[in-house]
Chains A and B, each alone.
Chain A
Amino acid sequence: MADPMTALNLRINGEERRVLSPTHHTLLEVLREECSLTGTKHGCELGECGVCTVLVDGQPVLSCLVLAAEVEECAIETVEGMQRGNELHPLQSTFADLGAAQCGYCTPGILLTAQALIADNPQPSDGEIREALSGNLCRCTGYHKIIEAVRWAAALERGEADAKPPSEALYGSPLPRISPPSAQEEDPRQEKG
């Protein structure tokens, strides 16, 4: 019994694509199987982990919870389309600089969710970043590096070219260390939330 097929016209990363896929295929399946765009990850098929997040008309959507046939008219953006020419997207570069991608499996989904956030809200607070990313599970980082990277990228997008993350977040900058015996004073940098 062959599955019924549908011919779809999809607009992915600004490129028109005509694909023939089983009618019941989700956007995730079409991206990965029919379009070979495997940057969008396959995680839980339940809408819980966020690794399959893509942007549909600029909004973050779980590609496992939408049929490709439903987004024919829409602009679809995946991680493969984030780079601007040869330039990394500011989020990609701050994630690199802060080591916010560890195993990397959650990373594409998080980048896209964050991209939508800072497009919608150029100066998100930490609380807003946490809320926005709460649908993207990460098991490696403990989220802090990710939050710092999003905050920094938002500043770069606002044109604050000299914006810097907290120094402890940057590669190569020393973390506070104990130099006995003068350890009684508190490092003011450590007081941030």
Chain B
Amino acid sequence: MAIHQPSTLSEACALLATHNRGSDRDLAPSPLVPIAGGTDLYTHWPQRPDEHAKSYLDLSGIEELRAVRWRNDSLTLGALVTYWRLIQDRTCWSALPMLVQAARQVGAVQIQTRGTWAGNIANASPAADGVPVMMAYDAVVELVSSEGREEIPLADFYQGYKQMRMRPDQLIRSIRIPRRSFLFQRFEKVGSRNAQAITKVGVAIARSGAGWRVVANSVAPTVCRCPTIEALLDDKVTVRGPDDLATALSQDIAPIDDIRSTARYRRRVLARLLYFALRESCSAFE
């Protein structure tokens, strides 16, 4: 095992350029796996000797990635910002409360102190709790490499299960979240117990001048926006009960049976969570 511990971003990008460039992969040294928190990476670590043979890029020494920047119109989170950091940020409780709600439900405090928002994005789990709230807030992912920077809306970032619009030589540098005034926002997570549970089904809902955003997790190969539901809300279609939403939802999600729950449960519960949440805010809901 080799761990590279750069102290600047350009150093990190240079290392990635050397190790992770696709074209001359055969000649290059083994590709580097970036670490930003590591709470997903290290599970069952001692039992995975193959992983020990790989090379890693520990980002924890890059100070600039720790920054939390509040501006009038946005919040920018460096790639090393942890859940705990935002739980402790009173501005966040009022300005972007779903971030705090989601953060408090990622594992427990021991995970929250290490786990990062950027790591949650890059781990690309369909059950990620941080991703749906960021996506509902229209977050934009800033990627860097030695070739430059690029920005991708989080909503467009995933292309399939664990498939991201991100090259192996790119790093997430920051996440920018626009500040808006919200008419409604709600995060619901259903795990198999009150705390420290992996999400069986979850949803983040936001309504602002930009329209409705409905983002669900654990119901598709990636965390996903629900455009049919969003359209139904924008069009103020009359909804008489959860079943009315279930039909629309079926175009947006593709849940499966797995060790944590069933597709049937996920469909029903998502429809019910949406219905009872939206009923508080939408006159079209009866």
Interface residues of A (CB under 8 A from B): 3-4, 6, 22-24, 26, 29, 45-48, 50, 53, 56, 59-62, 64-67, 69-70, 113, 116-117, 130-136
Contact = CB atoms under 8 A, between A and B. Distances in A.
Contacts of B196: 48, 134-135
Contacts, number: 98
8 contacts: A45-B47, A50-B110, A64-B42, A65-B38, A65-B42, A67-B58, A70-B58, A131-B108
A4 B42 contact: no
Contact of B107 (A3, A117, A135): A135
Contacts of A26: 42, 45-46
Nearest to A52: B110
Contact of B108 (A23, A50, A56, A59): A50
Interface residues of B, number: 29
* Chain A interface mostly: mixed
Contacts of B167: none
Nearest to B60: A70
A29 B110 contact: no
Nearest to B5: A69
Contacts of A132: 108-109
Contacts of B46: 26, 29, 45
A127 B110 CA distance: 17
B108 A135 contact: yes
Nearest to B35: A70
Nearest to B108: A135
Per CB-CB distance, the 5 closest pairs between chain A and chain B, nearest first, are A135-B108, A134-B195, A24-B52, A59-B113, A24-B1
Contacts of A60: 109-110, 113
Interface string B95-121: 000000000100111110110000000
Given A133-B108, A135-B111, 9 more contacts: A4-B1, A24-B52, A26-B46, A47-B110, A59-B109, A62-B114, A66-B42, A67-B42, A70-B35
Choose among B38, B58, B104 the residue with the greatest number of A CB atoms under 10 Å from its CB. B38
Contact of A65 (B5, B39, B47, B51): B39
A48 B2 CA distance: 27
Interface in B1-38: 1-3, 5, 35, 38
